[in-house]
Structure 1
Amino acid sequence: MDELMLVAATPFKRNNKNSLSIKDFEFVLSFDLKWMAPDVASKIRDRAIGSQLLKFQGAELIPNFDISNIEIPHGFKPSESIFKERSAIEDIIALIVANCGKSARDTTALINKKQEQLDDLVDIEVAGLLTARELGCDIDLIYDRIHNKVFSKQEMST
């Protein structure tokens, strides 16, 4: 299971709620659990929103996945890697996992298959976006990031 998904689910599970204010979400991560500083909790929240693990409903944050299917392991604490920026393809995989209930392994296989079907003529991130779209995921929040990455890469090669 994706570590960011576990972290995003924890405040909701801990409070036994399906929605939380931004303040309450960040409070759990930083003060209740003492996992991170408040400014880092804000960055984790933004990353979870960007990965479409969380979304806004009015002024409340709600998970974009079924938290009842998430089991937080006893003694779980996020690793240092969660504080590092994820690659675009990692965000696409997390998006598909969160919205379609597929494993990261199955998702990676689907993306690789899509890239092979396109004769490897597109970047892996483009194949990931196509796969996400075919599976019914909303890719709007990540599309611009991929578009900019792909086209800035092309400009550098010309």
Structure 2
Amino acid sequence: MMDELMLVTATPFKRNNKDSLSIKDFEFALSFDLKWMAPDLASKIRDRAIGANLLKFDGKGLVPNFDIRKIDVPHAFRPSDSIFTERSVIEDIIALIVANCGKNAREVTALINSKQEQLGDLVDIEVAGLLTAKETGCNIESLYERVYGNVFGKADEPS
């Protein structure tokens, strides 16, 4: 199953047959062309896609961090309401790896679990996910801060 955020992110580029879109054009496509969401929610989707490293801003416009030619948006596809709920950092790491290596979410989860086992279960799942993402050639810069907060924020919690 293709990641829903990836499908939503790819659609404006595919629809406009472009490799780069201005922020305005990306959000306009989601809200007015496709009529999928209100403009404020289109901004939220843009931010989530950037946070999940599916999109980047190259100074001129938004550019997908994955090959949109490999994405087939099903006919009559509409995003579910769940797309607007915040995903965990491990879900974003899995989506990033899926977007970049052509494996499905189940295969990626198995890779991450295997990496964690190789490390003797001494690291959090998010750290194993980052290592797996790096090994599969993903740019993980945008996820460092969230993983750091998740992992080291736990040290401050009372036991």
TM-score, normalized by length of structure 2? 0.95
Shift in Å at residue 115 of structure 1? 0.8
In the other structure, the counterpart of 2:21 is 20
CA RMSD of aligned residues (A): 1.1
Measured in 1, the distance between the counterparts of 2:28 and 2:41 equals: 11
Q: Does the aligned pair in 2 maintain the 1:52–1:98 contact within 8 Å?
A: no
Matched ranges for 1:30-69 at <5 A: 30-69=31-70
Q: 1: distance between equivalents of 2:56 and 2:69?
A: 17
* Partner of residue 110, structure 2: 109
CA distance in 2, matches of 1:10, 1:2: 13
> Matches of 1:48 and 1:2 in 2, distance apart?
11
Alpha-carbon separation, structure 2, partners of 1:129 and 1:99: 13
Q: Which residue of 2 aligns with 1:140?
A: 141
State whether structure 2 residue 77 is matched by structure 1 residue 76: yes
Identity %: 74
Distance 2:108 2:134 in 1: 13
Q: Match for 1:139: what amino acid?
A: I
Structure-1 separation of matches of 2:92 and 2:38 = 23
1:157, CA displacement in angstroms? 3.7
**Unaligned 5+ runs, structure 1:** none
CA distance in structure 2 between the partners assigned to 1:137 and 1:65 by the alignment:
10
Letter in 1 for 2:69: S
- Post-superposition Cα deviations, 1:36-70, rounded to whole Å, max 9, x if no partner, equal 11111011001111111111222211111111111
The answer to which of 22-31 and 50-59 deviates more is 50-59
Equivalents in 2 of 1:60, 1:41: separation in Å?
16
Residue type matched to 1:111 in 2? I
2:89 aligns to what? 88
Q: What's 2:155 paired with?
A: 154
Query: Would you say the 8 A contact 1:55–1:61 is kept in 2?
Result: yes
Q: How many positions carry a matched residue from both structures?
A: 158
Q: Match of 1:119?
A: 120
- Write the distance in 1 (CA, Å) between the matches of 2:158 and 2:114: 26
Q: Give secondary structure in 2 for the equivalent of 1:20.
A: coil
Q: Provide the TM-score with structure 1 as the length reference.
A: 0.96
Distance 1:146 1:106 in 2: 21
